[in-house]
Amino acid sequence: MTDYDVIIAGAGTGGSIAAQAIAKRGHAVLLIDKKERSEIGHKTCGDALGAHHIKEMQDLIGLPAMPPGIIEHEVNEIDLVAPDRVQRMPMVGPTIKGYSFNRLKLGQWLVSLAENAGVEVLASTRVKKLKLEGGKVSGVTIEGEGSGAEKQLRAKVVIDATGAAGMLRRQLPENSVIEREVAKEDMMVAWRDIYETPDYDFEHPEVLEIFYNQLQTLGGYTWVFPQGRHRVNVGVGLMTLEGHRVPQDVFNTFVRSSWDFMKTKLNAIDSGGGIAPVRRAMDTLVDDHFMLVGDSGCQVNPVHGGGIGSSMLGGAHAGITASEALERNDTSIEALWPYNSRYMNSYGTKQASLDIFRWFLVRVTNDDIDFAFRKGIIKATDLLGVSMMGKMGMGKGEKLKRLASGAGRISLIRRLAKVAKMMDTVKQIYSEYPDSPKGLVPWKARLAPVFDAAKNV
């Protein structure tokens, strides 16, 4: 006997969507979060989301329209700024449209939708252990925050949606097909503040700005995301590579001294550090009776670190697949496997090719970036293609054109062309993602050399 059909650990964006999707199909779901009910959704984040992600949720699970009050400001442009702070590449177009929003309110709305669909929400409760029976996942052990009393619960499927902590994933048995740990070099660390700026006017709150500077934020960037004319979300994120800098120090030295608005009166609304995985999604997101959703499954864009939309996408696909499996009374790895194919087709493939591009971004210097912006070696259309589709159009003709304009830094263009080719190779391998667990090992063996090579381009 099980207590629930599905237990979901973590009521973030991914977990709440998965819960809603499963309960809507009539299954019994328990959604657990260690935060108080009124705090679910409160998280260190850039609070920016592409509008297309909401549309996807409407199509996949019938998400209703967002109620007023969640969106702080609409976004219609993202400007990428070179380290010299002179070159600027504006990205515009339908795929850029989105929102600067209130993270807590978004989280509260998503949990209430899950409740309305019939999900039982257990807040202020920590999921402590993964329960195994005969080596297979069978439930969890929970503890009410501060109560000291543990309780065991059984379910046909357990979903780890605990975010970057991957709290249950890390407790899987050693012989699980799922990787239990994420390498340090595949993590991003960040610091971010939200301020009201009574004396500073963000004239264009519809434009988000991303600033590159490899000396300060290696492999990452500083973001300045206005949330209105007198409110801003500002932060720094960098890759956790050997000897990396501490993001809070970078914020307090570099950001405080380099942006005019930081020198005006600032009323702090929120402040904190955070982490996110910035690699390709876990090669399998399922094992017997077990699924990963959101950051715990590394469903984050490796280049810009956005993971709200993709965690919701993961949650929706996981929810639909788990429901189908429950309806067939089979929650084995084989029955849950279609979640992998659905996620890889809809987002995982793009993520993997961006993971290649990420290593290129780590290796370029400030001079390289300034030069590439100045000479048009990297164009807004490339970056749009890269961030939206994980594709960079660098055919032979285009390569020659850029070689001509980039005389003086030929090796940079050759490296870029090589990266574009590797991204295509990865996409090809993902188009042959195995349709059952049996194919996983040989498939992974094809990926490994490409990623090894990407680190050295």
Ligand X SMILES: Cc1cc2nc3c(=O)[nH]c(=O)nc-3n(C[C@H](O)[C@H](O)[C@H](O)COP(=O)(O)OP(=O)(O)OC[C@H]3O[C@@H](n4cnc5c(N)ncnc54)[C@H](O)[C@@H]3O)c2cc1C
Give the binding site for ligand X (CB under 6 A). 9-15, 32-35, 40, 43-49, 126-127, 161-163, 165, 167, 190, 192, 235, 237, 274-276, 294-295, 300, 305-309, 311
- Residue placing its CB nearer to ligand X in the complex, 187 or 420: 187
Q: Shortest approach of ligand X to residue 413 CB, angstroms?
A: 31
- Between CA 90 and CA 193 the distance in angstroms is 24
- Residue placing its CB nearer to ligand X in the complex, 274 or 406: 274
Q: Shortest approach of ligand X to residue 211 CB, angstroms?
A: 15
**∠368-381-276 over CA atoms, to 5°?**
70
Q: What pairs with residue 99 in β-bridges?
A: 49, 74
Q: Shortest approach of ligand X to residue 153 CB, angstroms?
A: 12
| Residue 193 tokens, joined | 């503040």
- Residue placing its CB nearer to ligand X in the complex, 43 or 317: 43
Q: Shortest approach of ligand X to residue 247 CB, angstroms?
A: 9
Q: Shortest approach of ligand X to residue 307 CB, angstroms?
A: 2
- Residue placing its CB nearer to ligand X in the complex, 70 or 413: 70
Burial class (CB in 10 A: 0-12, 13-18, 19+), 155: buried
- Residue placing its CB nearer to ligand X in the complex, 75 or 326: 75
Our separate counts of H helices and E strands in the chain read 14, 18
Q: Shortest approach of ligand X to residue 55 CB, angstroms?
A: 15
Q: Shortest approach of ligand X to residue 315 CB, angstroms?
A: 7
Backbone phi, psi, residue 408, to 5°: 110, -25
Helix, strand or coil, per DSSP, at residue 410: helix
The interaxial angle of helices 366-375 and 410-431, nearest 10 deg, is 90
Q: Give, in order, the Cα–Cα distances in Å from 23 to each of 9, 274, 323, 326.
A: 15, 30, 9, 12
Smallest CA-to-CA distance from 200 within 135, 263, 126 is with 263
Smallest CA-to-CA distance from 327 within 25, 114, 8 is with 25
- Residue placing its CB nearer to ligand X in the complex, 221 or 371: 221
- Residue placing its CB nearer to ligand X in the complex, 194 or 412: 194
Q: Shortest approach of ligand X to residue 286 CB, angstroms?
A: 16
- Residue placing its CB nearer to ligand X in the complex, 35 or 402: 35
Q: Give, in order, the Cα–Cα distances in Å from 191 to each of 159, 239, 395, 449.
A: 28, 12, 38, 33
- Residue placing its CB nearer to ligand X in the complex, 58 or 365: 58
Cβ atoms of 373 and 82 closer than 8 Å: yes
| Residue 387 tokens, joined | 């961030």
Strands 29-32 and 120-122: parallel
Helix, strand or coil, per DSSP, at residue 153: strand
- Between CA 317 and CA 346 the distance in angstroms is 9
DSSP string over 255-324: IHHH-GGGGS--EEEEEEEEEEE-SPPPS--EETTEEE-GGGGT-S-TTT---HHHHHHHHHHHHHHHHH
Q: Shortest approach of ligand X to residue 313 CB, angstroms?
A: 11
Residue 105 CB: number of other CB atoms within 10 A? 17
- Residue placing its CB nearer to ligand X in the complex, 214 or 222: 222
Q: Shortest approach of ligand X to residue 42 CB, angstroms?
A: 8
Q: Shortest approach of ligand X to residue 298 CB, angstroms?
A: 10
Smallest CA-to-CA distance from 382 within 32, 58, 91 is with 91
- Residue placing its CB nearer to ligand X in the complex, 176 or 227: 227
